[in-house]
Amino acid sequence: MSEYHAVVEWERRGARFTDNRYSREHRWLFDEGVSVAASASPHIVPLPYSSAAAVDPEEAFVAALSSCHMLFFLSLSAKQRFVVDFYRDAAVGVLGNNGDGVLAMLEVTLRPVVRFGGDRQPSGAEEAALHHAAHAECFLARSVRTTVRCEPAPR
């Protein structure tokens, strides 16, 4: 078993707070020094109390699922001797009311575009199988109730 740690820091910085007019900007700290500017989403908390330039939890959720899929895809490709030169995923998450009428991430769609190098190129079916296997192995996708789909870009 493994543990993963993140530190989340926020400070009031003089705002009254009880009037609900305080900044939602904060920091995520990882791995002994990596700092990420974070905030509530401006879709949830209006500006100026959120920051559109910072990463919000919803974006991070989508990015984590996308990253997990990509890392397994790269590993599986290497094992099958396919050389991946480029990987880009413009993943999208949809936040909305679930069956219980509360906000939830309803769906995450991965849309990876992959370029392979070298003489050994996967067929469309082989690439689709790699994505299917990566999706099956991604423990984050297996860990959430959200539907996680993968729709690779056509080659």
Task: Please report, to the nearest 10 degrees, the dihedral formed by the alpha carbons of residues 38, 39, 40, 41 taken in order.
Answer: -80
Confidence at residue 145, expressed as pLDDT on a 0 to 100 scale: 80
Residue 46 C-beta-side C-alpha neighbours within 13 Å: 2
Amino acid at the residue 90: A
Confidence at residue 74, expressed as pLDDT on a 0 to 100 scale: 97
Confidence at residue 95, expressed as pLDDT on a 0 to 100 scale: 94
Q: b/e map of 137-146 (b: 16 or more CB within 10 Å)?
A: bbebbeeeeb
Q: Are residues 45 and 103 in the same domain?
A: no
pLDDT by residue for the chain (155 residues), tens digit each?
Answer: 888 889 889 998 888 888 988 999 999 999 878 999 999 999 999 999 999 999 999 999 999 999 999 999 999 999 999 999 999 999 999 999 999 999 999 999 999 999 999 999 999 999 999 999 999 999 999 998 878 889 998 87
Confidence at residue 114, expressed as pLDDT on a 0 to 100 scale: 96
Q: Are residues 33 and 9 in the same domain?
A: yes
Confidence at residue 15, expressed as pLDDT on a 0 to 100 scale: 82
Q: b/e map of 64-88 (b: 16 or more CB within 10 Å)?
A: bbbebbbebbbebbeeeebebeebe
Confidence at residue 118, expressed as pLDDT on a 0 to 100 scale: 93
Q: Are residues 142 and 71 in the same domain?
A: yes
- Host H or E run for residue 1: none
CATH number at residue 129: 3.30.300.20
Q: Are residues 44 and 76 in the same domain?
A: no
First to last CA, the chain: 38
Tell me, yes or no, whether 106 lies in a domain.
yes
Confidence at residue 148, expressed as pLDDT on a 0 to 100 scale: 84
- Host H or E run for residue 44: none
**Distance between CA 147 and CA 145 in Å, rounded?**
6
Confidence at residue 52, expressed as pLDDT on a 0 to 100 scale: 95
Domain total in the chain = 2
Confidence at residue 79, expressed as pLDDT on a 0 to 100 scale: 97
Decide: pTM greater than 0.95. Answer: no
Report the candidate in 19, 21, 60, 20 with the shortest Cα–Cα distance to residue 39.
60
